[in-house]
Structure 1
């Protein structure tokens, strides 16, 4: 499953260069050139990470991130900017960013920062394998589930659902959160399809791992 990035950068040449670089690395990347389009894209898509230039038309990167954080959007974010004062750095982190890279930068450095945050966002560890049970683990680097030493390639929505559960172990995950994560803006949400995805994961992980909370959602249990 490709990781999906948003790039907000008003420098056309840099925007195109970053897009080409990450597409060649097999990322899906949507690029915009102003703050309003960035907010629209964030509303309409489920991104794995945001790359936000600060000084852009309409709404600056700091304000964009501050706004979505206030709406409980926790998508990790890296600011890309030429600003370099300590107060600017503090403003960036105060608005909720995960990292900060100054222009000019090497594309490989940006790549390494993106990869580091995507790993941390998933399981807050440098390891790429997250253990689900004694004989089951999920390979976050390749989005592959391993059961009894056999690799299982999950379909797109099964993988998204498992990732969501692993990020929220032993917590209630509401139906609304699941719908927002699994279905893109404009897609028809299907309760029947969700039940199928739950059934698929239970078959692989064990029925007891995913507890149904009546009328509210599900809880992925590690106990």
Structure 2
């Protein structure tokens, strides 16, 4: 489970975000409605992502993230804002934001942005990833099983990396194809062959009918 600290004083929006994220069965959400409580929570727990509305009581999102960055906190952060002026965007990135999402937004867009930041964080903190008897080096792209090197195609390596970064989460077919083909077109038949290859390698992959796949946690 990935831990997210949400700071949002709009009750309806906050409840909606929490419901959507918890439905993914992959996120553990801590929701507070003001910057002061958020600051307290950030010192009490380690989070995988911050999701901050800018205009919240006591300590606004910009001041909150600025304080966290000054303390050495490098947790990925996404700002939620209704502001569209360039000065607000510049200020946000100056204090250490990793991304912005403007109100109103589609919840699917929010999920995509959250997943992207968590994946980037994963890459920056992990070089060697292990799954059962499989070891994958993210930098060298070398896969070994029981110490023996396994030879995968570039696309199979991308799918392997996507699964290892998201064990326990359902990944849609469209998400996999978009990731492996950089927004281009891929085929379902090729994907099935690649998934079969990864299963033979040792990944415990479940087919979620009409949706996508889930790599089960080891």
Tell me the TM-score normalized by structure 1.
0.60
CA positional deviation for 1:122: 1.1
Unpaired stretches in structure 1, ≥5 consecutive residues: 153-223
How far does the alpha carbon of each residue in 1:96-155 deviate from its partner, in whole angstroms, 9 at most, with x for none? 00000110111110000001111111115xxxx752664058711117xx9x94459xxx
How far does the alpha carbon of each residue in 1:151-192 deviate from its partner, in whole angstroms, 9 at most, with x for none? 59xxxxxxxxxxxxxxxxxxxxxxxxxxxxxxxxxxxxxxxx
Q: 1:135 — aligned with what? A: 144
Q: Is the 8 A contact 1:135 1:149 kept in 2?
A: no
Structure 2 distance, partners of 1:4, 1:41, is 12
Structure 1 distance, partners of 2:18, 2:113, is 16
Structure 2 distance, partners of 1:36, 1:87, is 24
Structure 1 distance, partners of 2:3, 2:113, is 15
Runs of 4+ in 1 over 6 A off after TM superposition: none
How far does the alpha carbon of each residue in 1:32-76 deviate from its partner, in whole angstroms, 9 at most, with x for none? 000100101111111100000001000000011010101110000
Structure 2 counterparts to residues 3-14 of structure 1, below 5 A: 3-14=2-13
Tell me the TM-score normalized by structure 2.
0.61
How much is the aligned-residue C-alpha RMSD, in angstroms? 2.4
Residues paired across the two proteins, number? 145
Structure 2 distance, partners of 1:134, 1:54, is 42
Unpaired stretches in structure 2, ≥5 consecutive residues: 130-135, 146-159, 169-197, 205-218
Q: 1:190 — aligned with what? A: none
Structure 2 counterparts to residues 65-104 of structure 1, below 5 A: 65-104=65-104
Structure 1 distance, partners of 2:18, 2:11, is 11
Q: 1:59 — aligned with what? A: 59
